[in-house]
Amino acid sequence: MGRELGGFQQIVLFVMLSIIVILFFGLSNLNEDIEFRSVVIFTLTFLGSFYTLLFISATPVGDRIAGKNASLFFFQPIKLSFSTLGYIGLGVGGAFAFSVIANMSGMDGDMARLFAIGGAGFTFLFVLFRTKSIIVPILSHGMFNTLVIILRSNIFTAELLSSNPFPVPEIGITLGSLNTLASEAIWMFTLVAPAEEFLKALTLSFVFLSLKGKFENKGIVAYIIAGSFSVVLWMVFHLIRGGSNI
């Protein structure tokens, strides 16, 4: 049986750690305008989504708006258990499998990107629905992004995922004396993955509240509509960013 880490406290501690990395280590090592824009965009996405979810999940006003089950949907405490590790692995493996299939299928560039991004998005969404703790898909997402960056690097003789259709962003800011790969891995876990997963969770909340005004008693159709809408928005977010300079 797993040992619970704590409820809201673990989410807040995670966000606090991310803010420390962003403000203290990240902003102090900025060298170019493009790095600043990357940090600002992801930080605004991350914190804006987080504070909105926190408002509807942990305040009396939020309870009246969203119902008392909102916090149970995203902020369940994770457990140190084989089940949690299994869901983290499922997220990484599922996202990686969709990227490999897209890469080997012969699909054109845009279709391959849509397939890989959409497949990864639904995989992380499934992990969230099963665990009801946003930290779990954040960990899966961060591990997947880190894996892709490592496989694209010159650590290996061949760049194994050099043509991978999934547009994993790289912040480009080296933290202290760490090398580039280690710095990017930290950014994946503390900024990129949290920003994107909280944005999807915020989108889910918007659809749930638009459909019935509360989180309670949602049927499978509501989950399908909300999940599909959040993944489509996430795909658009990735495609726009993938075509930009950030």
pLDDT score for 215: 61
- For residue 244, the model assigns a pLDDT of 42
What pLDDT is attached to residue 93?
A: 94
- 67 by DSSP, 3-state: which? coil
pLDDT at res. 68: 55
Q: State the pLDDT at residue 94.
A: 94
With left for phi above 0 and alpha for psi between -120 and 50, is residue 40 left, alpha or beta? alpha
- For residue 9, give Cα distances in angstroms to 71, 186, 215: 12, 21, 22
Q: Two tokens at 30?
A: 């900025």
Residues 6+ apart with CB under 8 A from 201: 49, 53, 74, 128, 134, 230
Kindly state the helix (H) or strand (E) to which residue 10 belongs, with its residue range: helix 8-20
pLDDT for 24: 67
The pLDDT value recorded for residue 8 is: 60
Residue owning tokens 């930080």: 43
Kindly state the tokens that stand for 1.
């049986």
Distance CA 37, CA 46 (A): 14
- The whole-number pLDDT of residue 236 equals 83
Dist. CA 74–CA 97, nearest whole Å = 26
Q: Return the pLDDT at 183.
A: 83
- 198's tokens: 């909280």
Spatial distance between the Cα atoms of 123 and 95, rounded to a whole number of angstroms: 6
Q: What is the pTM of this model?
A: 0.81
The SS3 of residue 109 is helix
* Per-residue confidence in pLDDT tens, the chain, 246 aa: 444 445 566 777 777 778 777 766 666 666 667 767 777 888 888 888 888 877 777 666 555 555 555 565 677 777 778 888 999 999 999 999 998 888 887 777 778 888 888 999 999 999 998 888 888 999 999 999 998 888 777 665 555 554 555 567 777 677 666 677 888 888 899 889 998 898 888 888 888 777 765 665 567 787 888 889 999 988 887 776 654 434
Note whether 49 and 198 are within 8 A (CB).
yes
How much is the pLDDT for 179?
A: 74
Question: Which sign does the torsion angle of CA 171, 172, 178, 179 carry?
Answer: positive
pLDDT recorded at residue 69 = 57
